[in-house]
Amino acid sequence: MNHGAAGPLAWTVRVLTLFPEMFPGSLGLSLAGKALENGVWSLETVDIRAFARDKHRSVDDTPFGGGPGMVMRPDVLDAALTQVTGGPDAPDRGRVIYLSPRGRLLDQELVRELVATPTLTILCGRYEGIDERVIEAHRLEEVSLGDFVLSGGEPAALCLIDACVRLLPGVMGNVDTAGEESFEWGLLEYPHYTRPAVWQDPRGQERVVPEVLLSGHHERVRAWRLAEAERITRDRRPDLWGRYEQRKRAEEEAKTIRKRSGRRPGRFGEGSEG
Ligand code: 9WO
C-alpha cells in the first residue's frame, strides 16, 4: 500500500460528529499536522446534524423505557452513515468504528490493523449514546480506550487517530522504522535521560544519569534498556509481562528448531547457511 504524498492513496479518516469544530484539533499541529498538510493522510468531518430532517433539526430523543438523558436517533445516524460508507453492504466500506467504553480495548495491534485499512470511519456519540439498532444494522465495530466515561466520543477519536497517524510512513521520521520501540515487543518504555548529566532536583539533591548511558558502549546500553523495560513491565503490568514471556519462549523454541534442522543438511543439501 502506498501512503505517499497526496491524493487518493492517502490514509483517510472520516469522522461523524455533532461537533466538527473539534477536528482536526491537536491533529492539526506538530508532526500529524504536517503530515495532514502534506497529504500523507486526510481527514473528513461530517456534521451529523446536517442529516436531521425535521424543522428543529433534532438528532436526539428521549430513551424508550424512561430514564435520564437523551439518545441519538437511528434515522439520522443511518442517513449519515449510509451517505459516508455506502451502507453496511457496500464493498470497500472500510472499518466503521463506534467509540464506546463497551468496545474492544484499543491496543497497538488494533492500531496496526487500522492503519493497514485504507479508509476508517469513526462515529462519535454524545448524550447517553446511540440507538442500539444502528450498531447492529451498520455492523459498527465498538472500540474502547479504557474503562472511563467521556462526555462524547470525540476526544477518543482524536486519540485513536493520533495513534494511527504516527505509524504512517514519513510521519515520525525514522524513529520507529526499525521496530526498536519497546511496545513493539509488548514491553513498556525504558527510562529516558538527557542533559545535564548531573541535575539538582527541587530539594537540592543531585540526581545523576545511570553510568552505563554515558559509557558509549552501545551493546551495554541496549542490554540495560531491555532489562529496565522488562523490570518496569513486570512490576506494573503483569498482564503484558505474561504475554511477553510467552512470546519470548515461543521465539526461543523456534530458534532451537531452526538450528536443529539447519545443522543437518536436508535432502537437497541445503541448510548449513545462516
Ligand atoms: C454514560 C454513562 C453513564 C452512566 C453509566 C455508564 C455510562 N456510559 C455512558 C456512555 O457511554 N456515554 C457515552 C458518552 C455515549 C457515547 C459517547 N460517549 C463516550 C465515549 N463516553 N466515553 C466514551 C469512550 C470511548 C472510547 N473509550 C473510552 C470512552
* Same domain as 207, residue 135: no
* Same domain as 231, residue 151: no
Predicted pLDDT at 87:
98
CB distance 145 to ligand 1 below 6 Å: yes
**217 occurs within a structural domain:** yes
If one counts the domains in the chain, the total is: 2
**270 occurs within a structural domain:** no
Give the residue among 190, 183, 181, 179 at the shortest CA–CA distance from 243.
183
Domain with 225 in it: 185-261
Q: Tell me, what CATH number does 248's domain have?
A: 1.10.1270.20
Among 148, 150, 154, 161, residue to substitute to test ligand 1 (most atoms within 8 Å of Cβ): 150
* Same domain as 221, residue 85: no
For residue 266, pLDDT over 70 is answered with no
Predicted pLDDT at 259:
84
* Same domain as 192, residue 157: no
Find the 253 Cα to ligand 1 centroid distance in Å. Answer: 43
Give the residue among 33, 49, 52 at the shortest CA–CA distance from 41.
33
Average pLDDT over residues 196-214: 98
Predicted pLDDT at 88:
98
Nearest CA to ligand 1 atom 7: 149
* Same domain as 149, residue 115: yes
CB distance 262 to ligand 1 below 6 Å: no
* Same domain as 160, residue 28: yes
- Nearest atom in ligand 1 to the alpha carbon of residue 151 is 14
* Same domain as 228, residue 117: no
**174 occurs within a structural domain:** no
Q: Tell me, what CATH number does 130's domain have?
A: 3.40.1280.10
**273 occurs within a structural domain:** no
pLDDT tier, 113 (very low <50, low <70, confident <90, very high otherwise): very high
**179 occurs within a structural domain:** no
**147 occurs within a structural domain:** yes
Over residues 29-80, the pLDDT tens digits come to: 999 999 999 999 999 999 999 999 999 999 999 999 999 999 999 999 999 9
Place of cell 528448531: 257
pLDDT tier, 231 (very low <50, low <70, confident <90, very high otherwise): very high
- Cα angle, residue 92 at apex, residues 87 and 97 outer, rounded to 5°: 65
Find the 196 Cα to ligand 1 centroid distance in Å. Answer: 44
Q: Does residue 96 contact residue 121 with C-beta atoms inside 8 Å? A: yes
d(CA 166, CA 114): 12
Predicted pLDDT at 274:
31
CB distance 106 to ligand 1 below 6 Å: no
Average pLDDT over residues 4-19: 82
Q: Which backbone phi and psi does 76 adopt, to 5 degrees?
A: -70, -45
d(CA 150, CA 144): 11
* Same domain as 152, residue 31: yes
Predicted pLDDT at 269:
42
* Same domain as 252, residue 141: no
Q: Does residue 144 contact residue 199 with C-beta atoms inside 8 Å? A: no
* Same domain as 226, residue 92: no
* Same domain as 94, residue 6: yes
pLDDT tier, 174 (very low <50, low <70, confident <90, very high otherwise): low
Q: Within the chain, where are the H helices?
A: 30-37, 74-85, 108-115, 132-137, 154-165, 218-236, 238-263
For residue 263, pLDDT over 90 is answered with no
* Same domain as 144, residue 39: yes
